[in-house]
């Protein structure tokens, strides 16, 4: 029998509120998978270079984009409508110490979840050695369809996660150099397929693949805390 993992479907949540939620849940059990989206937000990871911000403060304000520096790994990325954001809160450590899944293996498994889900849509996605995220080959070259940025705290509990571009307005990526990578573009599932993606259907497929890859019994659950919603 696999360990349980609660699935919380949260809708659109302001970034700062979701970050606070992750911190509070990291001290709790059981494992949880948070499915949500954010309003327009640029986040700067722990190794971010602010030179990778293209839009200045005035332009970000004009376009309604919030800027937040956070404690995940990685550089700068964008969150917004039409994107599925997935935050696993997993306890990686055995009760007796050590890790069931190491940090590198954890990242590889997240990639497997994304690649497996995209395969359901007949999208052949892959990773690129030395670069984070999940990529697809297009007529314009390799383009990123999913960004990954995580944190594992001192108790070996995961925070942050990944974001997959489904019906995302890709113009907002013009405000940054995504993950500091200048020579590769960004795409979305809608752009690749030429159709509007059923976001809730994609989320359910992510849950299925997550349970398979991480060997968890995925259980839909109502959030036990009140959250602000996007306006």
Burial 5-33 (b: 16+ CB within 10 A, else e): bbbbbbebbbbebbbebbeebbeeeebbb
Burial class (CB in 10 A: 0-12, 13-18, 19+), 144: buried
Token pair 């935050």 in the structure block, residue: 87
CA–CA separation, 37 and 15 (whole Å): 9
Question: Which listed residue (5, 12, 179, 230) is catalytic?
Answer: 179
CA angle 187, 192, 193 (to 5 degrees): 145
Structural element, H or E, at residue 33: strand 31-37
Is position 179 annotated as part of the catalytic site?
A: yes
Partners of residue 149 on adjacent β-strands: 161
Burial class (CB in 10 A: 0-12, 13-18, 19+), 95: exposed
The residues that are catalytic are 179
């Amino acid at each position: 029998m696999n360990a349980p993992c609660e699935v919380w479907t949260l809708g659109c949540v302001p970034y700062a509120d979701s970050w606070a939620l992750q911190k509070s849940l990291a001290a709790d059990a059981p494992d949880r998978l948070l499915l949500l989206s954010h309003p327009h937000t640029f986040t700067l990871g722990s190794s971010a270079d602010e030179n990778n911000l293209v839009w200045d403060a005035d332009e970000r304000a004009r376009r309604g984009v919030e800027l937040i520096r956070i404690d995940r790994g990685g550089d700068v990325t964008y969150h917004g409508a039409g994107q599925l954001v997935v935050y696993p809160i997993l306890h990686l450590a055995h009760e007796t110490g050590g890790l069931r899944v190491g940090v590198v293996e954890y990242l590889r498994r997240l990639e497997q979840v994304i690649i497996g889900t995209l395969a359901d849509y007949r999208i052949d996605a892959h990773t690129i050695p030395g670069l984070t995220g999940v990529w697809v080959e297009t007529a314009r070259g390799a383009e990123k369809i999913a960004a990954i940025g995580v944190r594992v705290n001192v108790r070996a509990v995961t925070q942050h996660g990944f974001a997959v571009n489904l019906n995302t307005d890709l113009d907002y990526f013009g405000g940054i150099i995504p993950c500091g990578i200048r020579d590769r573009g960004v795409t979305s599932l809608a752009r690749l397929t030429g159709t509007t993606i059923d976001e809730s259907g994609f989320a359910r497929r992510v849950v299925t693949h997550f349970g398979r890859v991480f060997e968890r019994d995925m259980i839909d659950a109502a959030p036990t805390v009140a959250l602000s919603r996007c306006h």
